């Protein structure tokens, strides 16, 4: 029987994502040949990472971590193949740990850079933890995108992890910043303030409203005020600070922010797989 080196076992493990002992046995059965070992594993019905490349990871979770006082916020998207796995306690914890590490650790510019960092499991990187989950669960996991903002932030993720938002603020507190993030998740604004809209889009909407008012036979001397009033609905559909706050529709998000002495700088809203 060919001598199986530790380096060969490690190479096969990296290729297949399988435990060391399974890799060693496959190499022993295949005379140390890497390709033959993969083929032997497949014949045994053992799913390897290689055989699952291309499997659709269409579900998963978006996890967030934010702290206004600490001046940091992060959001990650961790995808998998099935809803039961995405809703499992282990998967949720792994996603949350990644978001917290991204926010409070040394940061990362790419998913691979984050996965290479130490995980909450002693002696393991996040990649090693992810590979261990694959070994047991036999589903592909993909850390598809990450975002870190080195500034005060609020965050909110829907209970099923399907959609989340991260909002950068100045002033305020965690509670109000989280409420604004929750509003963003629910109401899907496009921009923070009116000035962020494309002026051409505003002009086009104003033209449409003017023509509609004239067709209604409204007097020219009041059409201008009518149009400006109707533009509020246009702004409310697209502009965060102009939208009625979902928890208290008698005030806008802008009024809520002013009351908390908080300025909304920017936001990111993600949906799983989009």
Give the pLDDT confidence of 167-207 residue by residue, as tens digits. 999 999 999 999 999 999 999 999 999 999 999 999 998 88
Residues 6+ apart with CB under 8 A from 167: 73, 153, 154, 155, 177, 180, 181, 184, 264, 266, 267, 268
**pLDDT tens string 79-131:** 998 999 999 999 999 999 999 999 999 999 999 999 999 998 889 999 999 98
- Containing 164, the helix (H) or strand (E) segment is strand 163-171
Note the pLDDT of residue 26: 86
Going by pLDDT thresholds of 50, 70 and 90, the confidence category of residue 45 is: low
- CA–chain centroid gap for 226, Å, is 41
d(CA 240, CA 258): 13
Q: Name the residue with higher pLDDT: 220 or 269.
A: 269
Phi/psi of residue 189, nearest 5 degrees: -65, 160
d(CA 94, CA 125): 12
Task: State the Cα angle at 105 between 104 and 106, rounded to 5°.
Answer: 130
DSSP secondary-structure letter at 260?
Answer: T
The model scores a pTM over 0.85: no
Phi/psi of residue 66, nearest 5 degrees: -150, 150
List C-alpha distances in Å: 271 to 60, 153, 248.
10, 19, 25
CB atoms within 10 A of CB 13: 19
Phi/psi of residue 150, nearest 5 degrees: -85, 65
Domains located in the chain, CATH noted: 6-43 (1.10.8.10), 59-164 (3.30.479.20)
CB atoms within 10 A of CB 75: 27
CB atoms within 10 A of CB 92: 15
Going by pLDDT thresholds of 50, 70 and 90, the confidence category of residue 43 is: low
Going by pLDDT thresholds of 50, 70 and 90, the confidence category of residue 46 is: low
d(CA 80, CA 94): 12
List C-alpha distances in Å: 180 to 110, 160, 187.
27, 19, 10
């Amino acid at each position: 029987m060919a001598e199986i080196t530790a380096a060969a076992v490690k190479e096969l493990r990296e290729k297949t994502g399988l435990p060391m002992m399974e890799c060693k046995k496959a190499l022993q059965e295949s005379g140390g040949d890497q390709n033959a070992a993969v083929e032997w594993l497949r014949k045994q019905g053992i799913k390897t990472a290689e055989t699952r490349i291309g499997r659709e990871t269409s579900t998963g979770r978006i996890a967030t971590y934010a702290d206004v006082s600490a001046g940091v916020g992060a959001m990650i998207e961790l995808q998998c193949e099935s809803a039961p796995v995405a809703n499992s306690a282990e998967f949720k914890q792994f996603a949350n740990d990644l978001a917290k590490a991204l926010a409070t650790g040394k940061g990362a510019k790419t998913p691979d850079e984050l996965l290479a960092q130490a995980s909450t499991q002693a002696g393991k990187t996040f990649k090693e933890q992810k590979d261990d989950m694959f070994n047991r669960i036999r589903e592909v996991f993909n850390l598809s995108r990450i975002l870190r903002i080195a500034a005060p932030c609020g965050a909110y993720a829907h209970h099923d992890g399907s959609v989340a938002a991260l909002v950068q603020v100045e002033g305020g507190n965690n509670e109000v910043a989280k409420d604004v993030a929750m509003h963003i998740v629910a109401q899907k604004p496009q921009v923070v303030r009116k000035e962020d809209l494309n002026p051409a889009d505003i002009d086009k909407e104003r033209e449409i409203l003017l023509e509609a008012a004239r067709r209604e036979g409204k007097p020219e001397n009041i059409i201008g005020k009518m149009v400006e009033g109707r533009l509020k609905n246009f702004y409310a559909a697209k502009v965060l600070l102009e939208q009625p706050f979902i928890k208290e529709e008698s005030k806008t998000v802008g009024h809520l922010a002013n009351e908390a002495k908080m300025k909304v700088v920017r936001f990111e809203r993600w949906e799983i797989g989009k």
